[in-house]
Amino acid sequence: MTRYGETFPAWRAAAGDHWHAYTRHAFVEGLRDGSLPRAAFLDYLVQDYIFLIHFSRAWALAVTKADTVDEMRLAAGTVNALINDEMALHIRICAEAGISEDALSEAEEKTQNIAYTRYVLDAGHSGDFLDLLAALAPCVLGYGEIGARLSHEATSDTYADWIATYAGEDYQQVCHDVGGLIDSAIARRLGPAAQDSPRWAHLSARFTTATRLEVGFWDMGFEG
Ligand SMILES: Cc1ncc(CO)c(N)n1
């Protein structure tokens, strides 16, 4: 399993079965073996386009919640990667299927999508930089882990374009940078014995909640 720093493996372990339910979801396995119906994939991509808009807003909030210029730089880099790289995948695949960018912007946002993105934004608004990072982490790092695994385990090239985006060097670099950012942000605010800090359990619980919301997002993908 991919590490992406020291904090992530600890939070991932604390999320227990929820992490497995997220990263080994039937939707993910359908991407792996190509059995996922195209209509479900496109439905998911349309929702994910909207997701990425709000997710970019949450990373932009991280820029304003940061304490150092290094933290700002990394958060701003992630905003850039989301808006200018990752969303391009959605626009490209949807365009190939006859769904225009205008149609993407006008699509109705589903409730599981609203629940997830607004939970993350609220973590940032009501909490500090660490609360926000804990809520953001499962998304970035989970897709990194899924992409890296599927690049080795895929048995079909039906969804090769999607897999290559998350397994690719650019996205994997974002995951390593974000993993490092979480480690240094924690060390800076909670000190070397972060796991003994009273905040640790709370941050870890936020990570688990966001992981559960990822499971709901895949479930939603099947409903469409
Ligand atoms: C729901 C969801 N989680 C994570 C990612 C990765 O950025 C994504 N595109 N969508």
For 169, the token pair is: 């060097």
| Domains in the chain: boundaries | 7-223
CATH superfamily of 7-223: Heme oxygenase-like (1.20.910.10)
Query: Sign of the C-alpha dihedral, residues 23, 114, 118, 163?
Result: positive
Model pLDDT, residue 192: 87
Average pLDDT for runs of 10 along the chain of length 224: 91 98 98 96 96 97 97 96 92 94 94 98 98 98 98 97 95 96 97 93 98 97 80
Tell which atom from ligand 1 comes closest to the C-alpha of 82.
7
Q: Which protein residue's CA is at the shortest distance from atom 4 of ligand 1?
A: 139
Model pLDDT, residue 2: 77
The letter for the amino acid at 102 is: D
In the chain, count of helices (H) and strands (E)?
Answer: 12, 0
* Best mutation site among 19, 47, 48, 166 for ligand 1 pocket (most ligand atoms within 8 Å of CB): 48
* Best mutation site among 27, 217, 219 for ligand 1 pocket (most ligand atoms within 8 Å of CB): 217
Model pLDDT, residue 222: 84
Q: What is the ipTM of this complex?
A: 0.98
Cα–Cα distance, 34 to 171 (Å, whole number): 22
